């Protein structure tokens, strides 16, 4: 299961339900996908095909929506 947290700027931000415990989010658009750590700071973990410009844009979106992402993570993984 991979619930979508939100969509913004043509990107889908989502979690995988059964993955590692460190807080992170996946981002997809077309054939591109990336994984970002959320805590202790927003940081790129993996990238598949996003350009440097797109990664900067995604990081900005993540930082602007950090509270929403943290809350969604807690609700999804702790019930």
- What is the residue range of 57's domain? 4-78
The residues with which 56 forms a beta bridge, in sequence order, are none
**Residue 11's Cα: distance from chain center in Å?**
10
Angle at 19 between CA 10 and CA 14, to 5 degrees: 15
Comparing 65 with 16, the larger pLDDT belongs to 65
Sheet strands (E) in the chain: 4-8, 11-14, 24-29, 32-37, 43-48
Give the model confidence (pLDDT) of 15-28 as tens digits: 987 788 899 999 99
Cα radius of gyration rounded to whole Å, the chain: 12
Give the model's pLDDT for residue 1: 65
55 φ/ψ angles, rounded to the nearest 5 degrees? -65, -40
**How many domains is the chain built from?**
1
pTM of the model: 0.93
Percentage of the chain surpassing pLDDT 90? 84
Q: Region 51-60: what's the mean pLDDT?
A: 98
């Amino acid at each position: 299961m991979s619930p979508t947290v939100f969509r913004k700027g043509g990107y889908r931000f989502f979690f995988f339900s059964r993955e590692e415990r460190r807080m992170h989010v996946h981002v997809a658009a077309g054939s591109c996908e990336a994984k970002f750590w959320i805590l202790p700071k927003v940081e790129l973990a993996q990238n598949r095909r996003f350009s440097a410009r797109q990664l900067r844009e995604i990081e900005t979106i993540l930082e602007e929506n950090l509270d929403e992402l943290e809350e969604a993570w807690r609700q999804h993984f702790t019930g």
